[in-house]
Amino acid sequence: MNGFLKWFFAFMSEMLQGYAMMFSGIGNGFLKVFNIKMYIQLFKEYSPEFTTASWILSILAIILVVAVYLLFFMLIFMGIRKYLRFRHSIVSNEDLLEEITVLQRRVMKMAKEKDEIMAMKVAQMGGGSLAVPGLSLTADELEGEGAESIQQAAGEDGMVITNDRRFSKLYEVDMFYKNYQPPEYDNEITLEGICERYRYFACYKMHLFYDIKTIRLFIAGMASTKLIILQGISGTGKTSLPYSFGKFLQVDTTIASVQPSWRDRTELFGYFNEFTKNFNETEVLRRIYDSSYNDNVNLILLDEMNIARIEYYFAEMLSILEMPNADEWELDLVPNVWSTDPQNLDHGRLRIPQNIWYIGTANNDDSTYAISDKVYDRAQPINLDAKGVAFEAPETAPLNLSYSHLNALFQEAFEKYPISQENLQKIQQLDLWVIDKLRVAFGNRIIKQMGLFVPVYVACGGEELDGIDYVLATKIFRKFESLNLAMLRDELKELCVYINKSFGKNKMNESIAYLERLQKLF
């Protein structure tokens, strides 16, 4: 045992001496580095031999060494301060997390107390009829004697019996149409008459000057799709067109000013607030619901629609409008049913009526998003690139136009003015040419829309080739912008020659002008 103690003492003594030498060495090193007295003695010893240049260099050397040491100590100081700040932020975050945890516990405790109080109130009511303001809980969500009472009130279909109304605006619509008398509609006017009469009305009443072709395109667009995009430079009357058309039909257009913050459907249709137990209804939702009661031509204007991403806030509606069966055009608003829900709400779902159109205005500048092909394919774009030329118009009264009559005029145009077989063959050949040269296909959706657009455009007073030309330019040749056009200038020139040869020279002016503009831009 004595031998071990002697060895252990010697071992630890040797190790501690090593540590002592290490620390003393570091200390001696620091003393050596910062021995200012020694530096002064060395300077006095050698300075008598200095020349002028030596004095300058020695002073510069001293300044440089001092600067290096100052920089070194500054870096150490900044590092320590940064560490202290980082440590302070960590401590602050830990304190915040602890406070959040405490608050969450309090919220859970209060929620539990609320459930217990609700269960006690329900138990006191007994098994009679239930009318609890704001109550939307089911039997499975409550415990105790109150659960049986809730289940009796809910009924077999799960309807919640309550006196509160979560759709206040839609309820007002229900009340309005209880004693509603529809106006006397003009069921004699033609599509051409609608275009001419609206043009005169906009000029005489509102001092808006639209070319007759623009109005024909607008009406034809309504026949081909429920989404129309008015695009072009500012000041050409994009917003005024749907606004004045609503005034012309004596049914004001609902205007929804799109905001850059719009990210989902709640901005457009509203949402159910679980805290207040009310549905925050928008004017767009109210107009859709209102349209289910009447036979009017209803318009909703999405002003500056591409200031936010259309694919975000309008995604659900884009999908709904693509469904071939109009009976499936439904919006899911709420997951359950209340006894006070609006009459035209079916199990929390709202059916989108056929007598409503969505008109969007779009500017192309740095503050807006590019409209994707997904949106363009489902919409009918109308270009407003020039200001209207003023003209004189006679005094013109507004019109009462029913959706039923307008739809009948569309159906009549489809049967009376279908695209000729000759032009259909030319379109098919053009499709094959474009696929072969540019690897771009038309698609069945665009061909179907063209078959609806062109007959109505002709019924409005236009020419068949003009309608075909406009659809090709705005919905097909527009797709070329996504190609590497700098490498396809020769193909674009060949396409212009092919179009003139196939359809006739000076017949497809819209398409030729657009293709020539692409050649200049790229």
Q: What pLDDT is stored for residue 126 in this prediction?
A: 44
pTM value? Answer: 0.71
Q: Which residues of the chain have pLDDT under 50?
A: 125-153, 155-156
Tokens of residue 344, six digits: 């035209």
The pLDDT mean for the chain works out to 85
Long-range residue pairs from 177-186, CB within 8 A, at least 24 positions apart, any chain: 177/293, 177/294, 180/293, 180/294, 182/294, 182/295, 183/250, 183/400, 184/400, 185/295, 185/400, 185/401, 185/402, 185/405, 186/399, 186/400, 186/401, 186/405
Cross-strand partners of 332: 349
Q: Give DSSP secondary structure letters for 72-117.
A: HHHHHHHHHHHHHHHHHHHHHHHHHHHHHHHHHHHHHHHHHHHHHH
Question: Could you give the CA distance from residue 211 to residue 474 in angstroms, rounded to a whole number?
Answer: 18
Whether the CB-CB separation of 449 and 486 falls below 8 Å is answered with no
Cross-strand partners of 360: 229, 302
Tell the residue number behind the tokens 């039909």, with chain if given.
Answer: 249
The alpha carbon of residue 24 and the mean position of all alpha carbons in its chain are separated, in whole angstroms, by 70
Q: What is the distance in angstroms between the CA of the first residue and the CA of the last residue of the chain?
A: 96
Residue 152: how many other CB atoms lie within 10 Å: 14
Cβ neighbours for 133, distance < 8 A, ≥ 6 positions apart:
162, 163, 164
Residue 49: how many other CB atoms lie within 10 Å: 7
Q: What pLDDT is stored for residue 125 in this prediction?
A: 47
Tokens of residue 123, six digits: 């138990």
Instruction: For 286-337, write each residue's pLDDT tens digit.
Output: 999 999 999 999 999 999 999 999 999 999 999 998 888 888 899 999 988 9
- Amino acid making up residue 50: F
Q: What pLDDT is stored for residue 503 in this prediction?
A: 92
Q: What pLDDT is stored for residue 146 in this prediction?
A: 40
Whether the CB-CB separation of 186 and 198 falls below 8 Å is answered with no
Question: Could you give the CA distance from residue 415 to residue 455 in angstroms, rounded to a whole number?
Answer: 8
Q: What pLDDT is stored for residue 229 in this prediction?
A: 96
